[in-house]
Amino acid sequence: MNEKVTSIPELFGSMVFTQEQMRQRLPAHIYDAWQQCLVQGTSLDRSIADEIAAAMKEWAIEKGATHYTHWFQPMTGFTAEKHDSFIAPQGPTGVLMELSGKELSRGEADASSFPSGGLRATFEARGYTAWDPTSYAFVKDKTLYIPTIFCSYGGETLDKKTPLLRSMKLLDTQSIRILRLGQVQRDMVLREQLHVLQHELGEDGDDELYEYEEKINRCRAGDEVWEKLMKELHRLSKQPFGSAEGAVIRNYLDVCLDVPWGVETHDRADVEQARKILDKDHYGLDKVKERILEFIAVRQLNPQAKGKILCLVGPPGVGKTSIALSVAKAMHRKLSRLSLGGVRDEADIRGHRKTYIGAMPGRIIDAVIRSGSMNPLLVLDEIDKLASDMRGDPASALLEVLDSEQNHAFRDHFLEVPVDLSRVMFITTANTLDTIPRPLLDRMEVIELTSYTDEEKLQIAKRHLLPKQLKEHGLKKTQLRITDDAIRRVIAAYTKESGVRVLERQLGKLCRKAAMQLVEGDVKRVDITENNLKELLGTQQYSESIHSDRDQVGVVNGLAWTQVGGEILEVEAQALDGSGKLELTGNLGSVMQESAKAALTCLRSRWEELGLPRDFYKTKDVHVHFPEGAVPKDGPSAGIAITTAMLSALTGRPVRGSVAMTGEVTLRGRVLPIGGLKEKTMAALRNGVHTVLIPRENVKDLDEIDQTVRAGLHFIPVDTVDQVFAAALVLSRGEHAAPRGRVSAESPAALSV
């Protein structure tokens, strides 16, 4: 020591790497892991050992140490030491001071480690040293002494401390068992003693009970679980061999012991690494990636944070499930996936009582068992497809599972013991939020995935889909070349979707055609361009625009949102001489039928302003039809489209073919906001529409729309049906831009955004 210490209390323990030193120098979660190793006797993870070794090395160097030694006690009666320097060569002229967790937790014992009175060959050491975390390291003579035990390769006892530690562990285990034992457990102890006596006498005993007990004692579950399992084991011991009750208990014990109690994977909370993985696996989806990276950043700062519940909502094929798979890979978590589509029985979530024939735990516990970890990433696909019947409501059963404040003690009906799900990260997927119960939706953080633009589909095809299909079909990049124009043509003429699943199938078809040409012909490379695309895929399936560009009477381009994305919804209206009947066709739901009735009443209340006969509702029959009659349609957002089609049919004024619209209409002619604007506007752009009428209250939603879509469309916000008529109807010669009377003459151009 350089300083002179006169105080004995200051001198005592000053060169010992005590528990207090470890608490000061180690991160909280590393110190807790060491404590857990100390108390529960678990193994020390390599990453934890690295952190402890670094802190121990820094402390030793501060105390003047230049070397370290594994210090142990062979059966010779003398202590043994194996010295190594902290200094390691670094380049031609530099050195590096290092001590890793590998050297801390395990070291090879050489000949000098055995003070036997003479030298011994290294191979005679027959083992290695391992750090004893129950003993503190200390500095002596500028050397860090690491207390270790000597572990032999052949199983021989070569270290005095080894049998001591073994006996202490055995006594500790048995003492804890005795302290926790009740009447049932004392019976088990007596039965174990009886088994030993039977074994000594050469009598046959039933080893099954003792195997179960050994597994129960090894499992790292809580006291409540341990007591429950021991109670069931006691019941099993009283059952005759081959009884039905015994089979039920055995099945219960097997399932419970399959649960990975206390087993968790270490999260890889590295934002940059996660960003690289997400960018590699997915193109675009910037907002989704940013939210996931934020979650990982929080985990990096707070490893003990509870698992989050994310809900990815979007049309099919946009990458909801694949995003979840990438998150699991980025965070280095085990992954389990379960589909909830068509689940009607509450027992599918909570499990059946074990007394039922063929009873098994619910899907949640089964997924945890399959993952082999208590902190996996569980993907709940198609949560919007849950149903309910007389067997219960599965959505209600999920309320506890997806509530981070309750799921720390989730009880499956089969297990009957609490299971901690708070460390599980849940990611759910859905096509729509409309069918998800509000209490369940309130427990999830919704992240929307919108439809891809044509340019995004092109990039996804080039970066992900085409390389995947080439690999699946055994093709090399040099054997098949598809031009960008050809891919764009495939997107426009052979697919009609929000995602890229159909696009991938079409690319797979091109790969198969190319494989045939390479095998049958003499060509070494197949070039696919826009010119020869028709020969390979046949006649195009979709036109670039499904609506008519012509101005037509009684025909309006509405915009609809479906579970597969946005679509153009054509509305047809025809006015005929009659007695005032309203006919609605096209497989309409109740809400859309009510919208049509509200539209007719709106026109009747404004007959004078709109230039309609006063008694038109008595002399004219109005027939409103929605093409594709086999497809169910419902929702209020077609209100202004129906109103405009009716007015056009009654007045004979054409509707502009380049205009599409969406919005709910009231009896007084107000235009109310709607949902799904992202998908609807993308459908308009995809179908060649140039102008879109939207409710003024939806203007704020334009910020969420893709820039490509915003640049390709002309948006006109409207407050009333009068503004809709002024923008959508073709004016006759000599007619003013707005209807007569009280209507504002504000032009559509002035309303554009």
Please, are residues 582 and 622 in contact by the beta-carbon 8 Å criterion?
yes
Structure tokens at 583: 């006919």
Please, are residues 219 and 261 in contact by the beta-carbon 8 Å criterion?
yes
DSSP string, 664-732: EE-TTSBEE--S-HHHHHHHHHHTT--EEEEEGGGGGGGGGS-HHHHHH-EEEEESBHHHHHHHHBPPP
Answer yes or no: 308 catalytic. no
| Residue-level length of the chain | 753
The DSSP bridge pattern shows strands 80-85 and 67-72 to be antiparallel
Alpha helices in 63-204 (DSSP H): 101-105, 161-180, 183-201
Amino acid residing at 704: E
Beta bridge partners of 490: none
Amino acid residing at 656: R
Please, are residues 139 and 145 in contact by the beta-carbon 8 Å criterion?
yes
Of 379, 366, 306, the closest CA to residue 337 belongs to 379
Of 459, 468, 540, 455, the closest CA to residue 511 belongs to 468
Answer yes or no: 680 catalytic. yes
Structure tokens at 665: 């209409």
Q: Provide the CA 518 distance to its chain's centre, in angstroms.
A: 41
Please, are residues 475 and 511 in contact by the beta-carbon 8 Å criterion?
yes
- Contacts (Cβ under 8 Å, ≥6 apart) of 71: 79, 80, 81, 145, 146, 147, 148
Structure tokens at 462: 């080039």
| Residue 383 DSSP class | G
- Contacts (Cβ under 8 Å, ≥6 apart) of 623: 573, 574, 576, 583, 585
Given 680, 700, 732, 744, which residue is catalytic? 680
The DSSP bridge pattern shows strands 309-313 and 143-152 to be unpaired
Please, are residues 414 and 362 in contact by the beta-carbon 8 Å criterion?
yes
Helix (H, G, I), strand (E, B) or coil at 740: coil
DSSP string, 423-477: TPEEEEEES-STTS-HHHHTTSEEEE-PPPPHHHHHHHIIIIIHHHHHHHTT--T
Please, are residues 429 and 320 in contact by the beta-carbon 8 Å criterion?
yes
Contacts 24+ apart (CB under 8 A), 461-469: 461/487, 461/491, 461/500, 461/503, 461/504, 461/507, 462/487, 463/283, 464/281, 464/282, 464/283, 465/500, 465/503, 465/504, 465/507, 466/507, 468/504, 469/504, 469/507, 469/508, 469/511
Given 105, 326, 637, 648, which residue is catalytic? 637
- Contacts (Cβ under 8 Å, ≥6 apart) of 213: 188, 192, 230, 233
Q: Provide the CA 292 distance to its chain's centre, in angstroms.
A: 9
Q: 608: part of which helix (H) or strand (E)?
A: helix 607-610
Beta bridge partners of 85: 67
Catalytic residues: 637, 680
